[in-house]
Amino acid sequence: MKHRGILNSQLLQLLSSAGHGDLIAITDRGFPLPHVSHTQVIDLGIAEGLPAFNEIAALITAEVVVEKIYVTSETRQANPAMLEFVRALMPSDLPYHEIPHARLKQAVLTGGDQELGRIIGFVRTGEFTGYTNILLQCGVAF
C-alpha cells in the first residue's frame, strides 16, 4: 500500500503515463471539463477550496519532470499570489510562458493545439480563486 505523496490511483496513472512534451492542466473549480478522448479528466474537487490548487500543484510537480509551465497573461493582474506560488514552486531557471486565458481554455477544451502540443490530462481542483490555471509541459529525467 502506498503511504506517501499522491494516493489517488487515477492521478498516479495519469502522471506515470506522461511522456516528454505531454501537457497536464491543473485548474480552478470554474474551468469547464474537456471532452476529448485523449485527455484524462480527474475532478478532485470535493468542496469549496478542497483540495486547494496549491496543494495539488505541489504534489504533481514533485512527481513529474516539468520542463515548461504555461500561465495565463491575465493571471499577473487577476491573481498575482498564484503566479508567485508557481514561481516559488519551480526552479528559478524553468521557463514559464504567458498565454491569453481564452487560448488556454480553448486548448484545454480541444485537447491541445499545434503550438502547445497534446494535453493528456486535466486535473480540476476545488479552488475558488479565479485565474488559478496552469499547463505543465512534461520533460525527461535524463
What stretches of 48-122 show up as alpha helix (H) in DSSP? 53-63, 75-78, 80-89, 101-110
Q: Cell 511522456: give the residue.
A: 19
Measured distance CA(112)–CA(118) in Å, rounded: 5
Q: So what's the pLDDT on residue 95?
A: 82
Looking at residue 1, what is its pLDDT?
A: 86
What are the residue ranges of helices labelled H in 1-142?
9-17, 53-63, 75-78, 80-89, 101-110
Instruction: Please name the residue that has the C-alpha cell 484524462.
Output: 40
66-99: per-residue pLDDT in tens? 999 999 999 999 999 999 999 999 998 898 899 9
Q: Quick one: what percent of the chain has pLDDT higher than 90?
A: 93
Q: What is the average pLDDT value for the chain, to the nearest integer?
A: 96
Give the whole-angstrom CA distance, residue 86 versus residue 90. Answer: 6
Residue positions annotated with a catalytic role:
20
pTM of the entire predicted model: 0.96
Using CA atoms, how far residue 58 sits from 28, 32, 77, 88, 89, in Å, is 14, 22, 22, 10, 7
CATH superfamily of the 9-138 domain:
RbsD-like domain (3.40.1650.10)
